[in-house]
């Protein structure tokens, strides 16, 4: 999936600046792009050139001009067509499993420390998702249906991290047997 669809989706809520979009990426539990400025602004320029977004420039005194982007009708159609396209199965990239594949060279203590660090990271991610879900920090609030969709997306992440913690406990039990 391309970042352009995530940006079009965010702009379907309301007009935003590149900075607003960057902040929304960083505040989100599942918009997984680093959302670096170059990537966001380069995509906004491409979307504008393609006529998928419009741009309003607001002059500011002693500051760079603010560029506010809005989705166009053409952009809304492209977003809708993409939402209706064939769903993609997630491509699981799990760096920890690759790390674990060669962990036999570690001492028992080193392996335990590695597992502890992974567990701490999982617990932190789980806590963050739960907190954001409770506060609905990254949820739009335009309709009850949309709110339910976003809530279940967060629930998916909660289940993923919870399942990963269960798997880690099973791994520890299997290693000690």
- Helix, strand, coil percentages (3-state) for the chain, rounded to 5, are 65, 10, 25
- pTM of structure: 0.74
Q: Give me the pLDDT at residue 76, please.
A: 96
**Which one has a higher pLDDT value, 88 or 124?**
124
58-72 average pLDDT score:
92
61-80 average pLDDT score:
94
The Cβ-side half-sphere exposure at 87, using a 13 Å CA radius, reads 2
Candidate CATH numbers 3.40.50.360, 3.40.50.720, 1.10.10.10, 1.10.760.10; the one for domain 3-84: 1.10.10.10
121-134 average pLDDT score:
89
Q: Do residues 53 and 47 lie in contact, with contact meaning Cβ atoms separated by under 8 Å?
A: yes
Q: Do residues 154 and 29 lie in contact, with contact meaning Cβ atoms separated by under 8 Å?
A: yes
Length of the chain, please? 177
Q: Helix or strand or coil: residue 70? A: strand
Using the structure block, give the residue that is written with the tokens 């159609």. Answer: 77
Q: How many CB atoms lie within 10 A of CB 138?
A: 19
How large a percentage of the chain has pLDDT more than 70?
Answer: 91
């Amino acid at each position: 999936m391309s970042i352009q669809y995530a940006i079009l989706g965010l702009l379907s809520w309301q007009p935003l600046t590149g900075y607003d979009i960057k902040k929304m990426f960083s505040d989100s539990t599942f918009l997984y792009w680093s959302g670096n400025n170059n990537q966001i602004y380069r995509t906004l320029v491409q979307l504008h050139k393609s006529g998928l977004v419009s741009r309003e420039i607001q002059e500011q005194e002693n500051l760079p001009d603010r560029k506010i982007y809005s989705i166009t009708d053409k952009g809304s159609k492209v977003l809708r067509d993409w939402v209706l396209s064939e769903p993609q199965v997630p491509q699981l990239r799990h760096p920890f499993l690759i790390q674990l594949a060669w962990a036999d060279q570690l001492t028992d203590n080193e392996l335990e420390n590695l597992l502890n660090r992974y567990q701490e990271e999982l617990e932190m991610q789980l806590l963050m998702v739960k907190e954001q879900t409770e506060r609905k920090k990254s949820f739009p609030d335009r309709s009850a249906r949309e709110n339910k969709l976003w809530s279940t997306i967060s629930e998916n992440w909660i289940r993923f991290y919870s399942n990963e913690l269960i798997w880690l406990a099973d791994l520890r039990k299997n290693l000690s047997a």
